Structure 1
Amino acid sequence: MSCSNSIVKTFFCLFLWCCFSFTSSAQEEYKDPKNKDPKEVFAGGSFYEVQKYPQTKPNKTPKNIILMIGDGMGLAQVYSGLTANGGHLNLENFKNIGFSKTSSSDQYVTDSAAGATALSTGVKTYNGAIGVDPNKKPVVHILERAEKKGLTTGLVSTSAITHATPASFIAHVDSRKSFDDIALDFISNDIDVFIGGGKKYFEKRKDGKNLSQELKDKGYQVLYNIEDIQNVKSGKLAGLTAEDHNKPMPDRGEMLVPATQTALKLLSQNKKGFFLMVEGSQIDFAAHKNDTPGVVLEMLDFDKAIGAALAFAASNKETLIIVTADHETGGMTLLDGDYKTGKVVAKYTSLGHSGIAVPIFAFGPGSEEFTGFMENTEIAEKMMQLLKLK
């Protein structure tokens, strides 16, 4: 009888392990080789107009910083979008350009967790780490430093808000797969605005907690669709726009631009200034699949959000915008294209990340600091210095 009970317990434990393992790995399904969807050609489509914005005077300290991260965005991903939009992107407004060395503390090829932690803290760490150093000790994020100084802060992402890149700006955990623990840091932090997917990590948790209710108790407006989110006029906002990741383009529709505009509207009400991180997450997702149309559509969506940030910064004149990537994905190269039709033909060398340096684009006061080759950690250090956070 005891033997039978032991077998039953063993199978029950295995069942629970499988359930929890599936839950914890669901955010990473886009990396699975079985989901590879190689498509070499983007046939082309309609173009959108690109506005021109004059560069503000250099050598002036910014009051606000908008950091925009195109996850997996290397130069080929940028140029695929430029080709697909008839030869122009909003990124062409950025005249100060550099390159970021992306290696992590333990590997030549970084992952998003280590890459984003370097951008948020100025410290290189091991692949998989979220806001901790190589010894797994918490490192202070720029977002936390900004809050301490009285600036308003925000995160916007087309992935789950608990995914590696946005998580690296708010959480301190030793594994990027600890999604429930990452969500807890949104409660302990004083962030003003966050918009992205990941609702289930706030409301369908293993510990039974309802973090959305806790957010409401702290004064947040907790909303679930972009139509309601963009109507918010003031106050703290938690926008949970999907159970896990948001849908890829074009199924996602207009989400990133209105989310960025809403965050800017709310954060800019603080006279002391703000820090906002906006991530175009799914450039990376599509590149992991070697899906050229997916890469192009996500790149164009991200560039439209860049256009929204530029419109704000050109009017505000006290805002620095930095656009970069945590790493390149896919080893993407362009074999052919057509500016007239928007056709893009690409090949890939990998289903994973590559170690190539990624571009940095900067616009606004302080933008002259972001030229030439630099370590990814220098981007964080320079942002902190410009906002006088250290």
Structure 2
Amino acid sequence: MTFKNLTYLLLGIALFSCKSQMVQKEVPLKAKNVILLIGDGTGLSQISSAFYFKKTKPNFARFKHIGLIKTSSSREDITDSAAGATAFGSGVKTYNGAIGVADDSTEVENLVEIVSPLHIKTGVISTSSIQHATPASFYAHVINRGLYEDIALDMVASDIDFFAGGGTKFFNKRTDKKDLIAELKAKGFGIDTTALGDFERIKQYSKMGYALADDAMEPVAKGRGDFLPKATALGIAFLTKDVAHSNFFLMIEGSQIDWGGHANDADYLISELIDFDDAIGKALDFAEKDGNTLVIVTADHETGGFTLSSTPKKTEEGESYSDYNEITGTFSTGGHSATLIPVFAYGPGAEAFSGVYENTEIFHKILNETNWNTKN
């Protein structure tokens, strides 16, 4: 073989090798569904409590991709739920108390408004009223989170397909005397104000809403039972029932973890956190079977400065000591804190949620890891 022929042979082999590598390179799978679970007021210590106080293995342990978010709002170092959820829902920093508006009070497009024209089904679930700051930030636009009746009007005007929580009075006991329950039914909603039903009873509706308390739901320890995990499973079943349009975005809030923190009530906080973890399990169970669902678990901020401390005790002689074999939940504040917040992700695109970044990146990462960003 001549040197010239050998050169051509080696060049051909190299080109074939490059071509083979190009063919074998896999395109990352894009998520078709997104389940965003927000544990309001949940920092690392709140999450850690599940590992000590839950009788079964926490669902938090099922995640492999974990990141951290910075949570400050546009004007304050410490965010509230409205600004925090607006960052998730619309990808902008805004002032505390603002829902679905930018720092200058102009409306910003939210995830529900972005994906609904793409025939993506949407839903929100909360253990507070459905008009509370976190769920409202995914469908409403108001300059102050306390405008509950205006938020309820935005719910009627929105393209939400499924909701479950409290807040009946903001629909039908209004100062303007409007009956928004009737208006929701006119839009095709099945409405239940008594209890969660099973899927067979609601599958004929094009949209479904549960408003199961005048305002907030009861705490789990006072009779709410398994509402949150049950509503999570029911919401997923409802949003995926139409084969032609079975892709969805669902936001699920464990609202009252935050309230336990504000009250400096460790038992309240931990019981709500464990309930939230049960809802995470329902989301992960679906995602594992489906293979096309991105599950994200995070929080808007931490509440209470919660710590899992050693229990203070005294010897028979009256000398104080710390018992390292017993944990007590302690608090440093009755408000929110500025601590970084964990982000857990599972499914297609989960790797993108590792690292340390601003809370607004949750919104942008969701769009980047799906085919929902029509601007790309």
The Cα shift of 1:89 comes to 0.6
| TM-score under structure 1 length normalisation | 0.82
2:101 maps to what in 1?
A: 132
* Alignment partner of 2:229 out of 246, 249, 257: 257
Deviation at 1:353, TM superposition (A): 0.2
Q: How much has 1:227 moved relative to structure 2?
A: 3.7
2:128 aligns with: 159
1:291, 1:343 → 2: CA distance? 17
Conservation of the 8 A alpha-carbon contact between 2:348 and 2:369 = no
2:218 paired residue among 247, 253, 271: 247
Larger radius of gyration: 2
- Which residue identity does 1:233 align to in structure 2? K
The residue number in structure 2 matching 1:173 is: 142
Q: Is the 8 A contact 2:196 2:210 kept in 1?
A: no
Kindly tell me the number of residue pairs found equivalent between the two proteins: 330
Aligned counterpart, 1:220 = 189
Paired amino acid for 1:96? H
Structure 1 segments, 4+ long, off by >3 Å, are none
- Per-residue CA distance 1:144-176 (angstroms, 9 max, x = gap): 111011100000000000000000001000000
Partner residue, 1:40: none
Q: Distance in 1 between matches of 2:175 and 2:51?
A: 44
Question: Does residue 166 of structure 2 align to residue 197 of structure 1?
Answer: yes
Contact in 1 for aligned 2:140/2:151 (Cα 8 Å): yes
For the residues of structure 1 that align with 2:209 and 2:48, how far apart are their CA atoms?
Answer: 34
Query: Structure 1: which 5+ residue stretches go unaligned?
Result: 1-56
- Partner amino acid for 1:158? T
CA–CA separation in structure 2 for the residues paired with 1:348 and 1:121: 32
8 Å CA contact 1:320, 1:362 repeated in 2: yes
Give yes or no for contact 1:73–1:328 (8 Å, CA) kept in 2.
Answer: yes
Tell me if the contact between 1:229 and 1:239 (Cα under 8 Å) persists in the aligned partners.
no
| Distance of 2:344 and 2:371 partners within structure 1 | 21
Which residue of 119, 141, 144 maps to 2:113? 144
Alignment-mate amino acid for residue 144 of structure 2? S
Deviations 1:201-247 (A, max 9, x none): 00000100000011111110010133436542243101001100000
CA distance in 2, matches of 1:184, 1:297: 33
RMSD: 1.7
- Between the aligned partners of 1:147 and 1:216, the Cα distance in structure 2 is 19
Determine which structure has greater relative contact order: mean sequence separation of CA pairs < 8 Å that are 6+ residues apart, divided by chain length: 1
Deviation at 1:82, TM superposition (A): 1.7
Equivalents in 2 of 1:229, 1:163: separation in Å?
A: 25
Structure 2 unmatched ranges of 5 or more? 1-25, 312-324
Question: Are 2:272 and 1:298 aligned?
Answer: yes
TM-score, structure 2 length as denominator? 0.85
Query: 1:236-295 CA deviation, whole Å, 9 max, x = no partner?
Result: 101001100000121211101111111100111244411000000000011100100011
- 5 Å-filtered alignment, 1:1-390, equals 59-86=28-55, 88-228=57-197, 231-235=201-205, 236-251=207-222, 252-270=224-242, 271-272=244-245, 273-336=247-310, 344-390=327-373
Counterparts of 1:130 and 1:58, CA distance in 2: 37
Please say if residues 91 and 363 of structure 2, whose CA atoms lie closer than 8 Å, have aligned partners that are also in contact. Answer: yes
What is the identity percentage for the equivalent residue pairs of Structure 1 and Structure 2?
A: 46
> Does structure 2 conserve the Cα–Cα contact (< 8 Å) formed by 1:58 and 1:367?
no
